[in-house]
Structure 1
Amino acid sequence: MGTIEYTGNHHAFRDKLRRYLDEAVAPHGEAWEQAGIVPLSAWKEMGEKGYLCTWVPQAYGGRGLDFLYSVIIMEEMAHIGESGFMVSLHSDVVVPYLFTYGSEEIRNQFLPGCVSGDIVAAVAMTEPDAGSDLASMVSTFREEEDCFVLEGSKTFISNGINCGVVIVAARDSLEEEPYNAISLFVVEAGTPGFEKGGKLQKMGLRSQDTAELFFNNCRIPKANLLGQRGSGFIMLMEKLQQERLVCAVSALAGAETLVEQTTKKARECIYGSGMPLIKAQEVRFALVEMTAHLKMARAFVNDLVNQHAAGANVVVETSMAKFLTTDFLNDFSRRSMDLLGEAALDDDDVFAKALRDGRVMPIFAGTNEIMKEIAARFMGL
C-alpha cells in the first residue's frame, strides 16, 4: 500500500522524458509566459515524441500504455515547473471523453490528431455565473432537423486559444430538470458561430492560453453529440475521479519539488551571522514538517493511483486527495517564501512562480470546498 510498482520500461520512459523536458521545454518557460501562450509547435513536438495521450489504443494512433505513464508525465511536468503547458489536461482529462463516449466516427476523426499534437483539446463547462455548480449552467442547445444549435458563453477555458476541438456542456432549452438537461457536444475550431475571445490575463499560469468561448447560433452535426442526450451530468461525474486525481498527482509533485528547491536555496543562502540559512533551527524544523506531510500524502496518492488504475471507485478519496495536496502546495509555497525572505522575492524566481501558479489549484476540477462537501455526504455527515 502506498507504493507504485514501476517496471524497467516505466523508469526508462521517465529518464527519456526528463531529458527531453530539460532540453526542449524548460528553457522556453519564460518566453512562453511573456507570450501568454505555449506555441502549437511545442504541442506538435510533444506528440511526435510520443508524450501525448500515451494510453490511447494503437488502433487510433496511440501507444496503448497504462495509466502509470500518464502519472510519470504529470510528475515530470511538475518537476520543471511548466504548469502552463497543460499536457495532462489535454491527454488525461479531455481526450478520455472522446474515447469513452464518442462514436467510432468521432474516435477516428479526432483521436489520431490528439495523439500527434495536431489537435489540442479543451473542455468548456465554466460560465460567468456557473462554476462548480453545473446546475447553474445557462448555455443551451436546441435540436433541429439536421443539427444541434448551441447558444451561450464559457469562460476561464484552459487551452481555449490553442484548442482545435472543445467538448462543450450545454443544457436542453426544453428540459426543466437541470441534471437531466445537460448534454456534451464536440465542437471543432472554425465552426460557424463558435468564436474564441482574447487570452485572459491571470495572476498565474501565465503561459496557459485561458480564454472565453462564445457560441452564437453554432450549428453542429448530430453525430457530434457525446453519449446519450441528457446524460452529460453523469458523464462529467464519471470522469471527475480521474480529473481530480490528475490534480492531486500534479500538486503533490509540485509541492515535493518546491520543498527540494527550498532546501537547496537554504543551503546556499548566507545571512548576517555568516552561517547558511539551513542552520537556523526554525528553517530546519519547517523543512522537516513539510517533508513529513509530503511523505504521508505520497503514500495516500500512490495508493489511489494503484486503485484507480485497477478500476476501483475512489471518488471520495480522490476528492480528499485533491483538496489535501493542493492546499499543501499553496501552504508550502507561502511558507518557503517566508523562510527564504528576500532570497525568494524575485518575480522570475521559482518560489514566486510556484505561489502564483499554485493559487488556482484549489479551484480547478471543483473547488476544495466542494471536495469536502462530497466527502462529507458520502461519510453521512
Structure 2
Amino acid sequence: MFPRDLFDDSHSLLRRQVAGFLDEEIVGLHRNWSQARYVPRDIWRKAGEAGLLCRSLPAEYGGHGRDFRDSVVIIEELAARRLPGLPTYLQSDIVAPLVQRLGTAAQKQRFLPGLCDGNLLGAMALTEPHSGSDLHAFRSFARRDGDDFVLNGVKTHISNGNSADLIIVAARCDKAILGDQPGFVLLLVKAGRDGISRKAIAKAGMQALDTATITFEDCRVPACNLLGQEGLGFMHLMQSLVAERLVLAVFAQASAETLLRETIAACHARQTSAGTLLDYQHIRFRLADLYSDCSANRAFVDQCITAQLRNRTDPKAACIAKLRCTENLKDIATQALQLRGAAGISEAEGERCVADLVDASVQTIWGGSSEVMRDLIGRGLVNLL
C-alpha cells in the first residue's frame, strides 16, 4: 500500500515462505483455536521448523544470524492474516534476545536452542493486578535464601502465560543498586516448579492468544536462574520494553493497512442510488484522513525499524509508534464497520468487523495502554527545551 525501501530480495523470498506456511498450517485452523481459546503446542514446533522463530539469534543456538527485518516480515504476514494466536515476536524479539543479551553461557546453552526450534515456549511476566505495567508499583518480591530466590506475587494478562515453559519474571528484591531506588531482579522460572499456579483468562478479543494469570507462592528459583545482575532488573528491562513497543507497532501498522485496504474495496463495491460510496465526497474525506495517518505512521515505523537495525533505539519513538499505530488501527476498524452499514454487524462480514474492532481495542491496551504511552512521551518533553 505504501512504498518502502527496507527490504531486499532475501526478504521477499522469506515473505513468500512465511505466507505459504501460514496459509497452509495456520489460517484454516485459527478460527477453531479462537473458539477453543487454545493454540496447540505442536504449532510452535512447526513454526520453529519453518524458520519463523528467533531468526536474529546466532546459528550456534539454532538461529539464522539475520537482523530485525526478518522479524518484521513475519510479524506483518501474521497481522495481514489476523493471526494473533501465534505471537512469534514475543518469543523471537523479546524473550530470546533478553536471554541472549543478559544470560550466562550456561543459560544460553540451556534455553536458546529450545526457544529457536519451538520446543521451549517463552513468556514475559511483568503486568500485575494492582499496578498494570507500572514497574515502580510492583508487589512481586524475590527474597534471597541461600542458593535460591523465594518468589511471591501475582502476574496477570501474561501472553503465552498458560502454556509457557520458561517465564521471565520481574520482581522486587532486597538488593538496591541505584541509591535509594528499589532493586529488581529478572528470574528465569521453569513453569513446572512447585509454587506456581496458572489460570487462563477468557477474553472478548484476540481469543486465540493464550493469556493467563500466574501466581507464585513461595516458589523457589535457583540463583543460577538469575538473569543479569541482581538489583538491576529495572535497567535490564528498559531495552526490552522498547523492543516490545516497536514490534506491537509493527503488528498494528500491518493490521491497519490490511483493514484500510479492505475498507476502501468495500466502499468501492457498495452501490447506492448515486453510485458507490466512493462517489460521496464526505466518504472520500473520511478515508483520506485514515489513509494520511496510516501513511505517516508507515514512514515513522520504518524509521524506527532502521534505528533498531543500527542499535539506535529511542524509547520515546517506540512509544510514539505504538500509540499512533494502535490508535489509527482502532479508528480504521471503527470506520470499517460504520461504512458497511448493516452489513458491518450482520452475518460473516459483520462478525469479522466486530472482531476487528475488539481486537484493535486490545492493541491500544496491551504492551502499555495509550494513556501510558502518552504519559511516557509527555514526561520526556521537558528534555526538548
TM-score normalised by length of structure 2: 0.93
* Secondary structure at 2:171 match in 1: strand
Q: Which moved more, 1:93-102 or 1:223-232?
A: 93-102
CA contact (8 A) 1:180 1:231 kept: no
CA contact (8 A) 1:184 1:226 kept: yes
Deviation string, structure 1 residues 44-67 (Cα, Å, up to 9, x no partner): 111110101111110111111111
CA contact (8 A) 2:57 2:66 kept: yes
CA contact (8 A) 2:175 2:230 kept: no
Distance 2:345 2:180 in 1: 47
1:283 aligns with 2:276: no
Which residue does 1:135 correspond to in 2? Answer: 136
Give runs of aligned pairs for residues 1-381 of structure 1, distance below 5 A: 3-172=4-173, 179-197=181-199, 199-271=200-272, 273=273, 275-346=275-346, 349-380=351-382
The one-letter code of the counterpart of 2:197 is E
CA-atom RMSD, angstroms? 1.9
Distance 2:165 2:172 in 1: 23
The 1:274–1:32 alpha-carbon spacing in structure 2 relative to 1, beyond 3 Å, is: farther
Deviation string, structure 1 residues 240-280 (Cα, Å, up to 9, x no partner): 11111111111111101000111222233334x28443433
Deviation string, structure 1 residues 99-137 (Cα, Å, up to 9, x no partner): 111111111111111111111110111111011211111
CA contact (8 A) 2:150 2:219 kept: yes
Distance 1:193 1:121 in 2: 19
CA contact (8 A) 1:4 1:303 kept: no
* Secondary structure at 1:186 match in 2: strand
* Secondary structure at 2:80 match in 1: helix
CA contact (8 A) 1:135 1:178 kept: no
Shift of 1:286: 2.1
Shift of 1:220: 1.3
CA contact (8 A) 2:198 2:212 kept: yes
Shift of 1:212: 0.8
The 1:263–1:150 alpha-carbon spacing in structure 2 relative to 1, beyond 3 Å, is: same
Distance 1:172 1:257 in 2: 44
The 1:41–1:346 alpha-carbon spacing in structure 2 relative to 1, beyond 3 Å, is: farther
* Secondary structure at 2:313 match in 1: coil
CA contact (8 A) 1:74 1:249 kept: yes
CA contact (8 A) 1:329 1:358 kept: yes
* Secondary structure at 2:209 match in 1: coil
* Secondary structure at 2:202 match in 1: coil
* Secondary structure at 1:195 match in 2: strand
Distance 2:180 2:156 in 1: 20
* Secondary structure at 1:53 match in 2: coil
Structure showing greater relative contact order (alpha-carbon pairs closer than 8 Å, 6 or more residues apart): 1
Distance 2:30 2:271 in 1: 29
Distance 1:102 1:297 in 2: 35
Deviation string, structure 1 residues 81-113 (Cα, Å, up to 9, x no partner): 112321112211222111111111111111111
The 1:72–1:42 alpha-carbon spacing in structure 2 relative to 1, beyond 3 Å, is: same
Distance 2:236 2:382 in 1: 24
CA contact (8 A) 2:54 2:115 kept: yes
- Structure 1, unmatched stretches of 5+, are none
* Secondary structure at 1:217 match in 2: strand
CA contact (8 A) 1:102 1:226 kept: yes
Percent identity between the two aligned chains: 35
CA contact (8 A) 2:175 2:182 kept: no
Distance 1:96 1:148 in 2: 23
Q: Which moved more, 1:347-356 or 1:45-54?
A: 347-356
Distance 2:363 2:15 in 1: 24
Shift of 1:179: 4.3
Distance 1:225 1:125 in 2: 16
The one-letter code of the counterpart of 1:53 is C
Q: Which moved more, 1:4-13 or 1:249-258?
A: 4-13
The one-letter code of the counterpart of 1:296 is A
The one-letter code of the counterpart of 2:359 is D
Distance 1:119 1:339 in 2: 44
